[in-house]
DNA sequence: TATCGACAGGTAGAAAGTGACATGTCGAGA
DNA sequence: TCTCGACATGTCACTTTCTACCTGTCGATA
């Protein structure tokens, strides 16, 4: 039931169409939190509308339908947020591959870790940029800004991944008894 | 196709039964990398055996069947490891909830973050303990020890989560203009 | 005016994953 | 000897997700 709550969460901030939501998933949630594409999003929106958790509030060009969260939907989202399960289901193919690193030999492990170090650095830079941009545009009456919190989490996570990849590469080099360029 | 590669990866280290593998998932992979329970594992093992990627190498009491990876299986695993996709599919309900934190008010956010700070500290301690235990039992001819790498990643990730949760709590307190106990 | 890319919405069939149920064995301790 | 917990393996119906396909509109630029 996570997809529907992700959608309710996005709609709680502002009304949006299925197309908008697909974009938000691709830009914000896809990489770290929850993966979903339009073929899952459209049917789920229809279902949510059928259950009265969201409603169509506008229709525009090209068949565009803008959805907004309803009071029922907001109550459902709040209830879900306030009652986290004891264990979270996690599926992360990246971490799985790191777990299975030990099935490779040192050279192969190095070859996998190098792109990790590079990409985490790139993601880190991108995220920092978008945070800085958001901070600059910040409203003068800076509210608690809870949305800044998860951005910081992402920042720190990528920093951790980057530092770790460099450490791991170094450690393999040392164990291998040589210094690789 | 991640489940089958997770199983192949575990069997690449040593032969095991479905029951053993279920335990390994529960202890090692479940929390950070890949969630799977016995009702998925048993059928997948049968399928893998049917395709010749694993084979039954022993039968014991209580219908126990010990599987080992075959050469074909090892080749498949290696191929999968050496060809990571451009984007990894991630589904992490915890991170999703942190994304949606901004739909709550500061008090509620605090209530969610406090257990995060506590549990990450506990997980951190547990992991550090098991690493120390493994280091102590380490073979004298310490090989590159690639399996130590992912443990370190877990350690750093939990440390990051813990530090972040404390930072976030503090930031909410400050924005709220008071110091919460 | 033709074309193309972003906008906008979908469906169908297959695969993966979930929750609940079902069955039986072996060894240790009361 | 009885009971109980760990060992051990499954099935089935249902939900969720994935892959691949389909349809059409609007605006800008060639």
> How confident is the model over A41-94, as pLDDT tens digits?
999 999 999 999 999 999 999 999 999 999 999 999 999 999 999 989 999 999
Tell which wins on pLDDT, B133 or A22: A22
From B143, which residue of chain A is nearest by alpha-carbon distance? Answer: A175
Name the pTM for this structure: 0.93
**pLDDT number for residue A117:** 98
Distance B114 CA to C13 C1' (A): 45
Nearest to A148 by CA among B42, B175, B54, B116: B175
From B14, which residue of chain A is nearest by alpha-carbon distance? Answer: A103
**Residue segments in chain B with a per-residue pLDDT below the cut of 70:** 138-144, 177-181
Counting residues of chain A whose pLDDT is more than 90, the rounded percentage is 82
CA distance A97 to B4: 12
CB B92 within 8 A of CB A88: yes
pLDDT > 90? residue A135: no
Q: What is the pLDDT of residues A140-161, one digit of tens each?
A: 555 558 889 999 999 999 999 9
| Domain segments of chain B as ranges | 3-82, 93-175
Pairwise CB contact (< 8 Å): B164 & A152: yes
| B27 three-class SS | helix
> Which CATH number does A3-82 carry?
1.10.10.10
Least confident of A114-118, A123-127, B101-105, B144-148: B144-148
The CB density around residue B51, as the number of other CB atoms within 10 Å, is: 13
**pLDDT number for residue A144:** 53
**pLDDT number for residue B85:** 94
CA distance B71 to B64: 23
Which two tokens mark A142? 């800076």
**pLDDT number for residue B134:** 84
Q: Is the CB of B64 under 7 A from strand C?
A: no
DSSP state of A102: G
What mean pLDDT is reported for chain A?
93
CB A90 within 8 A of CB A99: no
Pairwise CB contact (< 8 Å): A98 & B150: yes
Residues 49-88 of A with CB under 7 A from strand C: 60-65
Q: What is the pLDDT of residues B33-76, one digit of tens each?
A: 999 999 999 999 999 999 999 999 999 999 999 999 999 999 99
**pLDDT number for residue A31:** 87
**pLDDT number for residue B175:** 84
CA distance B74 to B8: 7
Footprint of strand D on the protein (CB under 7 A): A 1-3, 35-37, 39-40, 61-63; B 17-20, 22-23, 38-39, 42-43, 45-46, 60-65, 89, 91
**pLDDT number for residue A43:** 98
pLDDT > 70? residue A179: no
**pLDDT number for residue A176:** 75
C-alpha dist (Å) from residue B120 to A167, B148, B155 = 22, 20, 10
Q: Which nucleotides of C are covered by protein (CB under 7 A)?
A: 7-12, 16-21, 24-27
């Amino acid at each position: 039931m996570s997809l529907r709550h992700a959608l309710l969460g996005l709609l709680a901030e502002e009304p949006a169409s299925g197309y908008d939501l697909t974009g938000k998933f691709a830009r914000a949630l896809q990489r770290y939190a929850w993966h979903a594409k339009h073929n899952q999003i459209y049917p789920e929106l229809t279902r949510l509308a059928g259950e009265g958790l969201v409603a169509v509030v506008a229709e525009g060009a090209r068949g565009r339908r803008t959805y907004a969260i309803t009071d029922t939907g907001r109550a459902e989202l709040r209830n879900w947020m306030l009652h986290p399960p004891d264990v979270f289901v996690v599926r992360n193919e990246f971490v799985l591959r790191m777990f299975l690193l030990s099935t490779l030999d040192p050279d192969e492990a190095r070859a996998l870790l190098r792109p990790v170090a590079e990409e985490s650095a790139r993601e880190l830079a991108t995220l920092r940029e978008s945070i800085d941009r958001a901070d600059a545009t910040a409203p003068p009456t800076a509210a608690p800004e809870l949305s800044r919190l998860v951005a910081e989490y992402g920042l720190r996570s990528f920093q951790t991944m980057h530092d770790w990849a460099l450490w791991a590469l170094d450690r393999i080099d040392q164990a291998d008894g040589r210094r690789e360029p």
